[in-house]
């Protein structure tokens, strides 16, 4: 069960606002420390942080304790593999390579007038092979916090300030693996009051997170969501667009920017 007991909160020492803050628009801005973020009725905001240390400065005081719910991504937000193999970026690259191989073989069948696969079947086989390799790697790989111990400290403090739940694109078949990985970096979710996990299995995070929200007896009016993918933050925005709630999306871009820098160096 989520921890709703009021505890001492050490996270909210400062506040910040997106540059050119407009409470009526969904914005994508870098987080600054100019003035407090003032949440209006039915406001949706997206701010970017590259360092997890900036997270406390981006959350308004209104989100403390009662009437709030936090959703936290796992991969590239809390943890990542110690190597490229098995990472989110590896997954995307392996999927693309596998798709191209299957599509090329399929084109040969078409050229020889043999029975070919449908486009949907090509995508299905590609995803099946990619997930098979991904699961094998995840079960044996070592992981590390995205930004050393600071990551764990910040997210643990966040759980003290508001009920939190982990929301991952992984499937339930990786439940034991995921909990083991979290435990190895001292993010223990098995203790009473700690965050639970929603396994989306590649599904829409916004829809599944809202389903969890709808199942709560007292539905929080403030939604905080932290993820490294803008598409997931957009799905949260879409899911709650008809609800009278405040949504604060945090785009945590640390890993994406690090990988982009490596790619730039490699192709320089």
Domains of the chain from N-terminus onward: 28-80+145-267 (3.40.50), 88-138 (no CATH)
Report whether pLDDT(65) > 90. no
**Nearest-angstrom CA–CA distance, 65 and 162:** 5
Q: What is the pLDDT of residue 150?
A: 87
Find, among 15, 10, 42, the residue nearest to 26 by Cα.
42
Please give the torsion angle defined by the CA atoms of residues 138, 141, 146 and 150, in that order, rounded to the nearest 10 degrees.
120
Helix axis angle, 88-111 to 119-138, nearest 10°: 140
Q: Which two tokens stand for residue 141?
A: 């790989």
Q: What is the pLDDT of residue 179?
A: 94
Condensed to tens digits (0 to 9), the pLDDT of residues 191-220 reads: 655 678 999 999 999 999 999 999 998 899
Q: Which residues contact 120 (CB under 8 A, 6 or more apart)?
A: none
Model confidence at 93, pLDDT cuts 50, 70, 90, reads: very high
């Amino acid at each position: 069960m989520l921890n709703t007991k009021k505890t001492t909160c050490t996270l909210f020492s400062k506040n910040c606002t997106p540059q050119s803050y407009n409470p009526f628009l969904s914005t994508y801005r870098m987080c600054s420390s100019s003035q407090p973020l003032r949440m209006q009725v039915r406001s949706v905001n997206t701010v970017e942080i590259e360092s997890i240390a900036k997270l406390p400065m981006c959350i308004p005081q209104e989100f403390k304790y009662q009437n709030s719910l936090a959703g936290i991504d796992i991969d590239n937000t809390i943890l990542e593999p110690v190597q490229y193999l098995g990472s989110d970026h590896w997954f995307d690259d392996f999927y693309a390579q596998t798709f191209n191989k299957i599509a090329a073989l399929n084109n040969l069948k078409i050229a020889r007038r043999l029975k070919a696969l449908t486009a949907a079947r090509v995508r299905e086989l590609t995803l099946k092979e990619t997930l098979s390799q991904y699961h094998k790697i995840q079960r044996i790989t070592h992981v590390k916090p995205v930004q050393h111990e600071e990551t764990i400290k910040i997210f643990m403090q966040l759980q003290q300030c508001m009920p939190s739940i982990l929301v991952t694109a992984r499937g339930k078949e990786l439940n034991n693996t995921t909990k083991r990985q979290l435990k190895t970096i001292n993010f223990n979710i098995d203790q009473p009051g700690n965050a639970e996990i929603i396994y989306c299995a590649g599904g829409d995070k916004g829809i599944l997170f809202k389903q969890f929200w709808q199942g709560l007896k007292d539905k929080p009016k403030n939604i905080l969501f932290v993820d490294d993918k803008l598409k997931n933050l957009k799905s949260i925005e879409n899911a709650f667009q008809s609800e009278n709630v405040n949504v604060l999306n945090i785009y945590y871009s640390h890993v994406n920017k690090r990988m982009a820098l490596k790619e730039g160096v490699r192709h320089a």
